[in-house]
Amino acid sequence: MTTNTQLETILEALEQAEGLPAMQASIEQLRDLMDVDHMVYHWVDSAGDHYGCGTYSDAWREQYLKMNYIRIDPVITGCFRIFNAVDWKDLDWSSKASRNFRADSIEFGIGNQGFSVPIRGPKGQFALFTVSHNCDDAAWEAFTETKRRDLILIAHLFNKQALELEKERKTEAQVASLSPREVDAITLLAMGYSRAQVAENLSISEHTVRVYIESARFKLGAMNTTHAVARALSRGLIVV
């Protein structure tokens, strides 16, 4: 199967995606097909809720939230002000805070190169599609030059699916239903237990704990475990 055929197959599946797990599967396949380190799609819906799918590690997502990097992230601040796809080299990294942020992100494996596509939808919806990789400038320029149109197309397809999901959410009950075991796992995490401690407390393996947590995360439309715990608490699904 040629690369173009593989791409078409993945994009067809993305267009049929009916939830975050399917979108997550598509973004992982696209990351692998394009042979880049990371690919991420994040959106803020018209109600101000955040959703996302992507390949950043849990460790980086937790570090990003812990350090409140959203305040200084040049990709976020820059893309709020522009409407066109942008290479990270063209953003403003001049401040010490921005340089420290970039060094930290590279340390966590995000890559020294990046390309982001900002998208604005109806009623205040904002989305950002990003591809990042670790390579030299020449290799990255060659990649973005040949893949630019595909990346912009992919960004808008993800956004199309996000808007469809938002329509569905408005017609569904606002509170996701978690299984008893998912509630147990998320509750213990909210109490400050580590995954190993959750596994020991529930007498299950750490792998099974991860399955419960990931399932709850997808049901809640959360970007990471911390976000899932916050959503479960705010919606009254768990009590600590």
The pTM of the full predicted model, rounded to 2 decimals, is 0.69
Residue type for 44, please?
Answer: V
- The answer to whether the CB of 51 falls within 8 A of the CB of 20 is yes
Look up the CATH number of the domain holding residue 190. 1.10.10.10
Which of 133, 151, 171 lies at the terminal end of a domain, its last residue? 171
The residue whose two tokens read 């893309």 is: 79
pLDDT at residue 167 greater than cutoff 90: no
Number of alpha helices (DSSP H) and beta strands (DSSP E) in the chain: 10, 5
Domain-located, residue 240: no
Q: Are residues 187 and 70 in the same domain?
A: no
With 70 as the cut, is the pLDDT of residue 54 above it?
A: yes
What range defines the domain where residue 208 resides?
180-234
pLDDT score, position 171: 44
Q: Are residues 121 and 140 in the same domain?
A: yes
The chain-wide mean pLDDT, for the chain, equals 88
Q: What's the pLDDT at 172?
A: 44
pLDDT band at 173, cuts 50/70/90? very low
Task: Please give the structure tokens belonging to residue 224.
Answer: 């990471």
Whichever domain contains 161, its CATH number is 3.30.450.80
Q: Specify the pLDDT at position 83.
A: 85
Least confident interval from 54-68, 109-123, 193-207, 214-228: 214-228
* DSSP string of 21-42, one letter each residue: HHHHHHHHHHHHHHT-SEEEEE
Query: What gap in Å lies between CA 80 and CA 171, rounded to an integer?
Result: 29
With the C-alpha atoms ordered 80, 84, 89, 90, is the resulting torsion angle positive or negative? negative
Beta bridge partners of 120: 126
pLDDT at residue 230, rounded to an integer:
87
Q: What is the per-residue pLDDT across 123-162, written as a single tens digit (0 to 9) for each?
A: 667 899 999 999 999 999 999 999 999 999 999 999 888 8
Whether 7 maps to a domain, the answer reads yes
| % the chain with pLDDT above 90 | 58
End-to-end Cα distance, the chain: 51
Total tally of structural domains belonging to the chain: 2
Interval 184-204: pLDDT, tens: 999 999 999 999 999 999 999
Contacts 24+ apart (CB under 8 A), 167-171: 169/45
- Report the pLDDT averaged over residues 83-109: 96
